[in-house]
């Protein structure tokens, strides 16, 4: 029943997202590796936000702020804190305007990497962040686990989903590549990767809504083995509800016939 309830709840949320696309934003960001900071909140390099309904995107990036402030690329490192503070100020101004919307993310859940890390970094730099309520956050990674089961794809899940669905994004960097890009001061490359990932998450989400996202889960791993799970499995098929209606009519007819023989 737990598997059935998890799937049912995730399917309901997916339907809600589909029916209210304008209420949802997709967010991702790139930062310094937290393994290199000795407990300090990592520097943020770029933040991408994409509207799920029309695909319009905003990119908050160190190199863009540097260009506005007339800071040459080679001097970004020396001016990093000031540039980062301005970038985060602009981001949190955007958050304030969109505070009522729902924010779809991938594993942005803790103080090492997540909304809390962004808030902490801005506080450290002397800013006052606008805090998004937890009720307005949707973790796409956890949503897929609830929808398809824990083993729906191999780790690392983003790369595995891309490969399994034959999606070939431009400018994608994995975690190690992003850490190297930061250490090499390749801030433009990092911002391209950040923007690429919100596109990827939008793609995953759209394919999941359309029931076209390929996963490795078996039927029982998605729906469970209860009768309700079997019902949901059949009902979600294109022919499902008519088939259930026909079966119901046949069963009712058989029961009616049996009762007629008895009485």
Query: pLDDT tens-digit profile of 237-259?
Result: 565 456 444 544 454 544 444 44
Handedness of CA 53, 55, 58, 61 (dihedral sign): positive
Q: 117-149 pLDDT, tens per residue?
A: 999 999 999 999 999 999 999 999 999 999 999
pLDDT of residue 254: 47
Distance CA 200, CA 133 (A): 25
Assigned CATH class of 2-220 = alpha beta
236 pLDDT band, cuts 50/70/90, is: low
Beta bridge partners of 24: 102
Closest CA to 62 of 223, 206, 187: 187
150 pLDDT band, cuts 50/70/90, is: very high
pLDDT score of 79 more than 50? yes
- Hey, where are the domains in the chain? 2-220, 226-262
């Amino acid at each position: 029943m737990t598997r059935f309830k998890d799937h049912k709840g995730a399917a309901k949320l997916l339907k809600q997202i589909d029916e209210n696309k304008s209420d949802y934003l997709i967010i991702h960001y790139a930062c310094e590796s937290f393994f290199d900071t000795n407990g300090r909140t990592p520097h943020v390099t770029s933040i991408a936000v994409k509207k799920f309904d029309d695909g319009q995107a905003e990119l908050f990036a160190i190199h863009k702020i540097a260009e506005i402030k007339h800071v040459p690329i080679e001097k970004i490192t020396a001016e990093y804190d000031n540039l980062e503070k301005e970038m985060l100020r602009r981001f949190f101004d955007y958050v304030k305007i969109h505070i009522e919307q729902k924010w779809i993310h991938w594993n942005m859940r803790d103080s090492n990497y997540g909304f809390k890390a962004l808030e902490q970094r801005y506080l450290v730099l002397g800013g006052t962040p606008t805090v998004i309520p937890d009720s307005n956050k949707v973790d796409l990674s956890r949503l897929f686990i609830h929808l398809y089961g824990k083993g729906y794809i191999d780790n690392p899940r983003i790369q595995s989903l891309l490969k399994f669905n034959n999606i070939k994004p431009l400018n994608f960097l994995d975690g190690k590549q992003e850490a190297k890009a930061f250490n090499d001061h390749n801030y433009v490359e990092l911002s391209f990767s950040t923007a690429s990932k919100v596109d990827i998450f939008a793609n995953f989400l759209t394919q999941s809504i359309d029931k076209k996202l390929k996963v490795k889960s078996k039927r029982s791993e998605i729906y469970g083995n209860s009768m309700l799970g079997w019902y949901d499995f059949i009902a979600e098929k294109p022919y499902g509800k008519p088939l259930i209606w026909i079966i119901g009519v046949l069963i009712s007819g058989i029961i009616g016939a049996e009762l007629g023989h008895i009485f």
